[in-house]
Amino acid sequence: MEEKNFEPNPSLEALADISVSGTVVDDKGGVLPGVNIFIKGTQKGATTDENGKFSIAVPNAQAVLVFSFVGYKPQEVIVGNRSSINITLLTDEKALGEVVVVGYGSQRKQDITSAISVINMKDIGEQPANNMNQMIQGRAAGVVVKQKSGTPGGAFEVRVRGIGSLGAGSDPLYVIDGFAVGTSVGQNLNPNDIESISILKDAASTAIYGARGSNGVVLITTKNAKEGKVDVNLSLDYGIQNVPSTRRVKMLNGVEFAQFKKEVFEDGIRYFQKREPTLEEVPIGFRYPEQTQYSTDWFGAIMHNNAPYTDANLTISSGKGPLRSMLSVGYYK
């Protein structure tokens, strides 16, 4: 029997895929679960697990892997002769601004067709505010925010596209990280703990909340702890508030007020009774204005020259694997 030597078939060699595995982390070293990985030019892909690890089979060493994740810049890598590839994705600030929380999920800003106003805390900057409503005041179309009274620390009134009911309440529904909360809880949340705010204003965007969302919905996304080392952030804001003397209301003193009241009574008699009044017809307390002994400047007593305020916030956060912890303390006086 004649012996034959068989040459390996290149087409069969191409069928032997190369297994590639690795880990995907962010620019701070935290693992990224749910990163999309696909082979460029094909429909074949994979995703990272909760630990940021992935495994994918590529056809050859020339294959290009594309890594993409919401809020991060996509990255392309040639496999080469490597079987292990570790990737670090960089934050894409522009892409983060285009992602909007909508109801139970999120959409890209350009894909939204309903009436939604988005307020990102990074856009507000270092504006001093001790209340969430002070931060959104004047920043969302169709949303009116005003303080009910002049009392320091008084409650705010929020109306989304006007008053929706004459008898029932008109306050919007507050949802913090997917949980519906009361109006007082939503309004008293520490602004330093907020990542972004989405205000749903029309029926299309509030439909999933039913009747509770009839007055609009305020979706609040809070800051999350990052994977890796412990982060400690301290912010301190100190300032002085005052009312310039040119804007203070000029009040009557005691003598001027008594004279004013006397003239009111006298002019009333002249107008209605068509005669000159007598002194006895003026109330005894206003008959002799020049003898008034007491005069109190109530405006000056309330509005001091300078009113100092202090706003301090301390945040400690850490994360390891699936566990996240965050402690936030705020002080305002």
Domain boundaries, the chain: 10-93, 98-222, 228-242+306-332, 246-297
User: What CATH number is given for 98-222 in this structure?
Assistant: 2.170.130.10
Q: Note whether 180 and 173 are within 8 A (CB).
A: yes
Question: In CATH terms, is domain 10-93 a member of 3.10.400.10?
Answer: no
* Best-predicted range by mean pLDDT (127-141, 158-172, 209-223): 209-223
pTM over 0.85: no
Reported as a pLDDT band with limits 50, 70 and 90, residue 152 is low
Instruction: Assess whether the region 10-93 and the region 98-222 belong to the same CATH fold.
Output: no
Structure tokens at 24: 């995907």
The region of weakest confidence among 76-90, 95-109, 127-141, 213-227 is: 95-109
Angle value at C-alpha 210, between 208 and 104, nearest 5 degrees? 25
pLDDT attached to residue 154? 64
pLDDT over 90 (residue 22): yes
Place of tokens 């595995």: 21
CA distance 113 to 110: 8
User: Who has greater pLDDT, 305 or 171?
Assistant: 171
Q: What is the pLDDT averaged over residues 5-30? A: 69
**Those residues with Cβ within 8 angstroms of residue 270's Cβ, 6 or more apart along the chain or in another chain:** 276, 277
